[in-house]
Structure 1
Amino acid sequence: MGLTVALAYSGGLDTSVCIKWLQEKYKAEVITVTLDLGQKDNLREIGKRAYLLGARNHYEVDARHEFVTGYVYPAIKANGLYEGKYPLSTALGRPLIAEKLVEVAQKEGADAVAHGCTGKGNDQVRIDVTVRSLDSSLKVIAPVREWNMTRDEEMTYAQNQGIPIKPSKSIYSVDQNLWGRSIESGPLEHPDQEPLPDAFEWATLPEEAPDTPGYLDLEFLEGVPTKVNGQELNPVELIQFVNQLGGSHGVGIIDHMEDRLVGIKSREVYECPAALTIIEAHKDLEKLVLTRNELEFKSSVERE
């Protein structure tokens, strides 16, 4: 008898292939789980695609508010910038994805959970560790780590399995949520090449930004922003507003060499207008209200 597996499903090529691969290798019944973290995907179409590929059941979870209050807020309080540059936008969502995967797996009586992370990055560790800490009885399957297919081989597998392949509109691999947008692949694989303008969607290039400044008045309560320009907004709306305003003025582009947990270096490009704006404002607020010794101690703790 095969396994019942809860799969973190994005609707893209990798996790679509995962459905068929799990069915083939493990004789698995697959339950797909898609979280709305503000990535602006067509979630209804993702659900339809999951059922088309043979998912037994599909869950769509609106986790935007929980993502902000449970993960982004603590990151703001900690001035969370990995290696002083990256506001952990993609990273913050992975434990929440893992948590919801476990909830669905327990509800469905699943034997395992699965995800589409590769063996190269930090996300695999975040999901694996979170799942095991929440329910050690669940097996964790990472098909992309196991199948060892090249991209071309994966495309061939998809065609042979009758998986519809959408023509890609971009040469980039993109992962995004409310807190930021991660851009990889294509010419960005070469650290000596400057990102082309078509890599960006949220941030206006500095040379194209308005000549007149934009002003943003952020009000904080207990370490997190609650009002913008005197208007109280809910957590999701506030971040969306700051993303739009900051991005329109050329704020938010990050390009740096990142150290991965597994010991490799990776060139990473991000767009994080709201994250950089809010964290910078929070750091300045701390300078206003904390002593020099408190600031030095907090800075050392944040780096660890």
Structure 2
Amino acid sequence: MYALKSSRRSIRSIRELTDGEVDLHGPIVTLFSGGLDSSYLLYRLVQAGATDVHAISVGLGGDERNTQIQRITDTLGVRLRFSDARAAFVEEFVRPAIAASSVYLDTHPISSSLSRPLIARIAVDMAREVGAQVILHTANRSQNTLRRLNCSLELLGFEGYFGSPYELDPVDREVKIKELRAVGLDEMAERSASGDSNLWCREFESGALDDPEEHSVPESYYRWSAVRDSPVPPTDVSVTFRAGVPVALNGRQCPLADIIEELNWTVGAHGLGRYTGLEHLPGGAKVLEIREMPAAWLLLASRRHLETAVLDAETIREKLHVEQVWVREALEGRWFGALRAACQAFVLQLSTPLDGVVRWRLSGGRASTTSIVADAPLYVRNREDWEHAAIRSELAHWGRGTGQWHS
């Protein structure tokens, strides 16, 4: 368990990097996605005289373009550190999220809340490896990533400076593009929205998607659920669970990561798994986010069907409440906190009897279950037979015509 520090040394503006308190000649770790904000931060660090910058790119099975990322760091003269964390992301973060049915306020499955604590952990490990006393990221005040990363870094016990220089010192998009163009990075002007991707989700926000009252998502943003040139024939899909964990797809046993990857394409081909949602910022303001999560949609729905087949109604009602506590803790950046761990223990206890298979028919942009099979079901397969059996059982407790109940 990680202990929350009472205070930390914050980096909240670009000016704080140049006021002499932070050693720009010592090792500095930055989280680097290859986007406009993270590229511009590297540029500003180099311009300020930083000589030992370690830019970490974390691979989570998303849209990472390693050659482009390498070109940016090479152009800026910064050392790139790539960490392939796909397996850790799925096993340590997505798997617990499936058990917790982690859906934000009944609108969309959570995603970046799962990746940020892992990214923070990798950054702390790298900082300790190279002796860095500074970890920087580029989230701004309108992004929930700001508190998720900061809180994770704090709970992980990092003792140096950390934070986002954009929190109190935002830089206009046009300024970033102009200055990066001047050093040969022309491709930054092509970004019309901010994107985040991993094996579990592809997410878009900001820019052209700022206004909830008027937004239109270009079809080119989508990948898994992009409209096909020709109609997609009906598809039958089955998911097998053991102790609540997906272990087989269409009867084939395979790792969870492979199940997610295949379902993203299979379910997405039918246009399923798109989400539009509003998420809160500190203070209560809401921001628009667009998600593409085909595998998450089907897996969470399948698991809920299996839960309803096996668990009694009161237990499910209580789990629904605990799920939202779990989601809140993850959403606020407290993945490494005690309350989320306690909620996780609760949902895992309920996962033990969740063995079975859920089958679907995907067709014409719709999905319908065709079979829900549980190893230890509470469901009735023939209502008439069940009614007759229930009546016989009830009458057996009476005194065979005496009208007296025998306990």
What's the TM-score, normalizing by structure 2? 0.69
The equivalences for 1:1-304 within 5 A come to: 1-2=23-24, 3-25=26-48, 27=50, 29-55=52-78, 57-160=79-182, 162-166=183-187, 168-169=189-190, 171-193=192-214, 194-204=216-226, 210=232, 212-304=233-325
- Counterparts of 2:261 and 2:71, CA distance in 1: 27
- Residue 285 of structure 1 deviates from its aligned partner by 0.8
- Residue 167 of structure 1 deviates from its aligned partner by 5.5
* Cα distance change, pair 206–292 in 1 and its aligned pair in 2 (3 A): farther
- Counterparts of 1:140 and 1:82, CA distance in 2: 28
Counterpart amino acid of 1:183? Answer: F
Is the CA contact (8 Å cut-off) linking 2:94 and 2:200 kept in structure 1? yes
Is the CA contact (8 Å cut-off) linking 1:121 and 1:261 kept in structure 2? no
Structure showing greater Rg: 2
- Counterparts of 2:212 and 2:37, CA distance in 1: 25
Counterpart amino acid of 2:72? Answer: R
SS in 2 for 1:144: coil
Structure 2 residues without counterparts, runs of 5 or longer: 1-22, 326-407
- Residue 244 of structure 1 deviates from its aligned partner by 0.4
Is the CA contact (8 Å cut-off) linking 1:53 and 1:163 kept in structure 2? no
- Counterparts of 2:231 and 2:147, CA distance in 1: 38
- Residue 220 of structure 1 deviates from its aligned partner by 1.0
- Residue 255 of structure 1 deviates from its aligned partner by 1.2
* Cα distance change, pair 262–92 in 1 and its aligned pair in 2 (3 A): farther
- Counterparts of 2:319 and 2:251, CA distance in 1: 29
- Counterparts of 2:304 and 2:91, CA distance in 1: 19
- Counterparts of 1:239 and 1:150, CA distance in 2: 37
Counterpart amino acid of 1:121? Answer: Q
* Cα distance change, pair 154–270 in 1 and its aligned pair in 2 (3 A): same
- Counterparts of 2:66 and 2:256, CA distance in 1: 21
Structure 1 residues without counterparts, runs of 5 or longer: none
Is the CA contact (8 Å cut-off) linking 1:65 and 1:235 kept in structure 2? no
* Cα distance change, pair 186–123 in 1 and its aligned pair in 2 (3 A): closer
Is the CA contact (8 Å cut-off) linking 1:118 and 1:142 kept in structure 2? yes
Deviation string, structure 1 residues 203-245 (Cα, Å, up to 9, x no partner): 14599863x5322100112221111001112222111100001
Deviation string, structure 1 residues 2-51 (Cα, Å, up to 9, x no partner): 24210111122211111122234474521111111011322244134223
Is the CA contact (8 Å cut-off) linking 1:179 and 1:275 kept in structure 2? yes
- Counterparts of 1:71 and 1:299, CA distance in 2: 19
RMSD over aligned Cα atoms = 2.2
Deviation string, structure 1 residues 251-287 (Cα, Å, up to 9, x no partner): 1111122222453211221110011110010111110
Aligned identity (percent) is 27
- Counterparts of 2:244 and 2:259, CA distance in 1: 15
Is the CA contact (8 Å cut-off) linking 1:19 and 1:53 kept in structure 2? yes
Aligned residue for 2:404? none
Is the CA contact (8 Å cut-off) linking 1:206 and 1:250 kept in structure 2? no
- Counterparts of 1:103 and 1:94, CA distance in 2: 14
Is the CA contact (8 Å cut-off) linking 1:77 and 1:223 kept in structure 2? yes
- Residue 132 of structure 1 deviates from its aligned partner by 1.6
- Counterparts of 2:190 and 2:40, CA distance in 1: 19
- Residue 173 of structure 1 deviates from its aligned partner by 2.4
- Counterparts of 2:59 and 2:161, CA distance in 1: 24
- Residue 186 of structure 1 deviates from its aligned partner by 4.6
- Counterparts of 1:82 and 1:28, CA distance in 2: 42
- Counterparts of 1:86 and 1:273, CA distance in 2: 11
* Cα distance change, pair 96–262 in 1 and its aligned pair in 2 (3 A): farther
Counterpart amino acid of 1:83? Answer: L
Counterpart amino acid of 1:219? Answer: T
- Counterparts of 2:29 and 2:154, CA distance in 1: 14
